Copies of this chain bind each other. A is one copy, B any other.
């Protein structure tokens, strides 16, 4: 692809949509990528930057240098400029910032002064406000004359003299109304204003819940400072959903484009935790080593009990974590949810007790061994249903993200209880 056919590339790439160009850059390997950025040089479209994965973006900005970045900051909307910048390494940020001209530095520094993942970081500082006294005609004339409006916008915000938003109007309604009508006569007053410090997850919730297309961001005094639009929210929803999937899979963040060593390090921590819990389960087994020595079938069968509990618990856990993230599971219906999962655990526990007990009876020709595994199965599946609900609810209550920590706790519980119930019952009744 990226051989030396320079002119061909120069013709092709600027014709690509910025998102496709970003995908192309991500697909290339490091050397090809560097070559491409160098070939494009000053024709490199800054709109590509927000579409790049962070680790690739850092490389590209390094190659573009301070001049290239300064141009990018000028051309991008303020929210995109901050987005390009915020995920970069802090040291790298400082180095680039110090090389930028004052004006560009200030735009970025203001954006970065808001907390990470807050509405302040997401908002666009370019938006259209209309004083409350204006009519439709005045508004249209103003927009036709104004030069510094954002490219595209969907809603107009109407503000009072204190610059507080008092209503909004979708553009379609303004266009369909006669010129002499005042905006305040038909504006929507059911504004969902977003405080500067609101977390992006809560912002996404508001957009999703109320089907918003854009929403005003206000400071502590209620003054309109910026606007968040739905296209930014689409990215957040993707990001948050992706984060939850990654966390539940024991990966700290999407690492498709990260370097091997960074990825290995990030995953190592999680595996250490898993090693400790596996050793804990082994300690439980070692309590019964004398029993296993006498009935080796126990060693053969014990992973079944633990694994069924782990899987049943994971099912419950997944529903709980997702429902918590979507705010469908709240204190109001928590008790009902726990009761339901307990019932499901009991029903499935009895069904799989019969199945596993039957298989064991046939396989090892021992009815009593079948009864022991059946009893252990019921116990572990009920415990799984209970821990699958209580662990995420408990973590949420103490302010820990249930997506990241729930599954370690859960499998620890189902392994320990599974091994303990099965081997303990065997030791008590089979010897």
Contacts and interface: CB of A to CB of B under 8 A. Distances in A.
A267 to B, nearest CB: 5
Chain A at the B interface: SS class: helix
B319 A303 contact: no
A79 interface: no
Count of chain copies: 2
Contacts of A279: 304, 359
A251 B315 contact: yes
B289 A415 contact: no
A241 B143 CA distance: 39
A311 interface: yes
A252 to B, nearest CB: 10
Interface in A136-160: 140, 143-144, 146, 149-154
A58 interface: no
Contact of A337 (B238, B246, B256, B271): B256
A244 B154 CA distance: 32
Interface in A118-173: 140, 143-144, 146, 149-154, 170-173
A336 interface: yes
B210 A17 contact: yes
A282 B308 contact: no
A150 B355 CA distance: 57
A172 B152 contact: yes
Contacts of A230: 213, 230-231, 234
Contacts of A103: none
B303 A278 contact: yes
B289 A296 contact: yes
A264 interface: yes
Nearest to A24: B332
Interface of A: 17, 19-20, 26-27, 29, 53, 140, 143-144, 146, 149-154, 170-178, 190, 207-211, 213, 230-231, 233-235, 237-238, 241-242, 244-246, 248-251, 254-256, 260, 263-264, 267-268, 270-272, 274-275, 278-279, 281-282, 285-286, 289, 292-293, 296-304, 306-308, 311-312, 314-315, 317-319, 321-323, 326, 328-330, 332-333, 336-337, 340, 343-344, 347-348, 351-352, 355-356, 359, 411, 415
Top 4 A-B pairs, shortest CB-CB distance: A249-B318, A241-B241, A299-B299, A171-B171
